[in-house]
Structure 1
């Protein structure tokens, strides 16, 4: 019985640790989501009530890349210094390189949903763009959580 109790306690502690980590990852991700989507909407559609749209209104895919890149830098700082502060590598450049590779893949996922919506489905409204970006963001977030835990923020 002591072995079963020990295994149960270790499993419970592991689940708590992952949930705590997921919650911090979620907070950083939610703020990065605001940076990403707020930036995208400003670039493509301009300020609310403004006439003519944003300065990248004709380049929605590129605007998605710019907004996601800004959110990526925010996310790296938040995850490195808060979410995974106890797991980051000694070599910052190696960690940042792995982070950027993971986020380049995630960026392609998000931009790919916008590309599909705009160029394959012919949709170009704010609703369709934001729906495509939300779907891309969900898929990219699942990928990021896996990649950060498994490959980026590990003690070297």
Structure 2
């Protein structure tokens, strides 16, 4: 039992971070999935255009959720810098989805919604692995100074 406790203490912050990242990712996936189908099936945009629209909107949600919840304890190197890198890396991750959807639609000649959705799920899965690694490495950086657990002594006496 002591081993499990030590293991949990060692990896608890990673487990919590992954849980938050997964929660944001799940909601972003639902946004992506819903918009992909709305744009492709209902509005008739085509699978690749629909994927770009869906990913752009779901990525905006994911940035806000990851910046202000998942990685809130990490240094903020400037919202402009983070937002730019976040979208750049999501553009690279979008290629996974575009390749799987494009391959399914144009190489395998599968144009039905089920095939596009399966290709989307595979692409999102591959892109998620890339995104988690790249966010931690380049976007939401580790704090350079330890975050204080308590307020510092100011030397100012307060009247009671």
> What interval of TM-score do these two structures reach, taking the shorter chain for normalisation?
0.7 to 0.9
Q: Which of 35, 42, 48 pairs up with 1:39?
A: 35
Cα pair 1:99 1:148 within 8 Å, conserved: yes
Is the deviation greater in 118-127 or in 11-20?
11-20
Report the counterpart of residue 128 of structure 1 in structure 2. 115
Uncovered stretches (5+) of structure 2, i.e. residues with no partner: 145-160
Report the counterpart of residue 49 of structure 1 in structure 2. none
Give me the whole-angstrom Cα distance separating, in 2, the residues matched to 1:147 and 1:95.
Answer: 12
Give me the whole-angstrom Cα distance separating, in 1, the residues matched to 2:114 and 2:71.
Answer: 34
Give the 4+ runs in structure 1 shifted more than 4 A.
Answer: none
Deviation at 1:12, TM superposition (A): 4.3
Deviation at 1:90, TM superposition (A): 3.5
Report the counterpart of residue 72 of structure 1 in structure 2. 59
Q: Which of 11, 14, 20 pairs up with 1:18?
A: 14
Task: Give the direction of change, closer, same or farther, for the CA distance of 1:69–1:14 in structure 2 (3 Å limit).
Answer: farther
Question: Within 5 A, what are the aligned runs for 1:1-156?
Answer: 9=6, 12-46=8-42, 54-56=43-45, 59-154=46-141, 155=143
Give me the whole-angstrom Cα distance separating, in 2, the residues matched to 1:55 and 1:132.
Answer: 18
SS in structure 1 of the partner of residue 72 of structure 2: coil
Tell me the TM-score normalised to structure 1 length: 0.84
Q: Could you say what the CA RMSD is over the residues aligned between the two structures, in angstroms? A: 1.7
Look at both structures and tell me which one has the larger radius of gyration over its CA atoms: 2
